[in-house]
């Protein structure tokens, strides 16, 4: 089944403790992206990747890192999480770029205390 998977689905952590949220797609998509969703603000793009080893900042990249060593994986790294990074995070992928339909993962609910 074609899908985007994320892990973990839920995470509660403390300020400053490094964490990684994994994202994997099995559709051989070139483009992958991370979003965060906050009430009243909609979805905002954190980082995106057009291809392996090519990543770029989205609208809200501060406090996040990403890497794209393999086509299928695009992990999101929070080196030193803070409470303002408490949010619902989505990974998404598309065939080539944003002009194609994006497929979203199931989301990761992160709480930083």
Partner 1 sequence: EDKVVQSPLSLVVHEGDTVTLNCSYEVTNFRSLLWYKQEKKAPTFLFMLTSSGIEKKSGRLSSILDKKELSSILNITATQTGDSAIYLCAVLGAQKLVFGQGTRLTINP
The residues binding partner 1 (CB under 8 A) are 40-45, 58-59, 90, 98-99, 101-107
Q: Which is nearer to partner 1, 16 or 51 (CB)?
A: 51
Which C-beta is closer to partner 1: that of 59 or that of 79?
A: 59
CA distances from 65 to 28, 40, 88 (A): 22, 25, 17
Q: Alpha carbon of 113 to those of 4, 17, 26, 39, 73: distances in Å?
A: 28, 10, 33, 18, 28
Q: Rounded to the nearest whole angstrom, what is the least distance from the CB of residue 80 to partner 1 in the complex? A: 26
What is the smallest separation between the CB atom of 75 and partner 1, expressed in angstroms?
Answer: 18
Comparison of 14 and 96: residue with beta carbon closer to partner 1: 96
Contact 23, 76 (CB under 8 A): yes
C-alpha to C-alpha distance for 47 and 50, rounded to whole angstroms:
10
Task: Give min distance, CB of 99 to partner 1, in A.
Answer: 6
| Least Cβ distance, residue 66 to partner 1 (angstroms) | 16
Structure tokens, 105: 């993962």
């Amino acid at each position: 089944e074609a899908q985007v998977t994320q892990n973990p689905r839920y995470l509660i952590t403390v300020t400053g403790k490094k964490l990684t949220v994994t994202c994997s797609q099995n559709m051989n998509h070139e483009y992958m992206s991370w979003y965060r969703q906050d009430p009243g603000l909609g979805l905002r793009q954190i980082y995106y990747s057009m291809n392996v080893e090519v990543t770029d900042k989205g609208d809200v990249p501060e406090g996040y890192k990403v890497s794209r060593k393999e086509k299928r994986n695009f992990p999101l790294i929070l080196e030193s999480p803070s409470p303002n990074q408490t949010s619902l995070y989505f990974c998404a992928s598309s065939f080539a770029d944003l002009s194609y339909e994006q497929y979203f993962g199931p989301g990761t609910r992160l709480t930083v205390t």
